[in-house]
Amino acid sequence: MAGHSKWSQIKRKKGANDKKRSAMYSKHIRAIQAAVRSGGSGDPSGNLSLKNAIAAAKSDTVPVDNIENAIKRAVGAGEGAAEFKEVTYEGYGPGGTALLIEALTDNVNRTVADIRAVFNKRGGSLGTSGSVAWQFEKKGILLLTDTSEQAQETAIEHGAEDIQESEEGLAISTGPNDLYAVQDALIAAGFSIENAQVDMIPSNTVAVAGDDARKLLVLIDALEELDDVQNVYSNADLPDDEE
């Protein structure tokens, strides 16, 4: 189920981050500073990109002091400060899977060369712009362990588009701009949110198992280890023992 798949993806992401916490913190700090500069404000109430970046950082347990210091540095940054550009790359992985890679970089030539090298070394191929992006849609995703009817009704009343239930809980899908309205309503109703983030969701998935699944995970890990890469999304439907 989509709900189960989302829970598995979050668990895998957090498990990987536990082993590379310093690098993960750096990626979030870069995203926060880029959001401040691109949005022209250090106030998340008036800068949705910053609000999303802060929420993502908090979901990965980045300390509040680190977040606040990153915002202060970005607000006070003058001429000569690094200017990070948001870029998206598309490609293909083992088993015919589609990959969408989001990066923040101050040197596009370096970043694309690094990403291409990983694809070539790990059995994938870098695609052209538009080759796979059409298969993904930006959505807000909330995870909570409570599967009660009240939780589902509260989510629907405040803008949830889809709810998937699994043994682990609910995966609630919203429009990207409705994520926080649904989150705030659930919290106000007394529900505990396990994770809330804006994500790129594939319209269809590709079942991948065995050697292809293992090669795909190695490829994704290698891409995520690149300093400039912020997020890697795939349309792979992996078996539980590979996630």
Work out the burial of residue 165: count CB atoms within 10 Å of its CB; fewer than 13 is exposed, 13-18 middle, 19 or more buried.
Answer: middle
Residue with the bigger pLDDT between 73 and 124: it is 124
* Of 20-29, 76-85, 206-215, highest mean pLDDT: 206-215
Instruction: Please report, for residues 12, 16, 225, the alpha-carbon distance to residue 25 in angstroms, rounded to integers and kept in the order given.
Output: 17, 13, 12
pLDDT level of residue 1 (50, 70, 90 thresholds):
very low
Whole-model pTM?
A: 0.80
pLDDT in tens, 73-120: 888 765 545 678 889 999 999 999 999 999 999 899 999 999 999 999
Stated length of the chain? 243
Integer Cα distance of 125 and 228 in angstroms: 18
Question: In the predicted model, what is the mean pLDDT of residues 67-73?
Answer: 89
> Residue 7 above 70 pLDDT?
no
Residue with the bigger pLDDT between 16 and 211: it is 211
pLDDT level of residue 123 (50, 70, 90 thresholds):
very high
Provide the pLDDT for residue 23. Answer: 81
Provide the pLDDT for residue 114. Answer: 97
* Helices (H), ranges, 40-97: 48-59, 64-76
For the stretch 53-74, what's the b/e string if a residue is b when 16 or more beta carbons lie within 10 angstroms of its beta carbon? bbbbbebbebeeeebeebbeeb
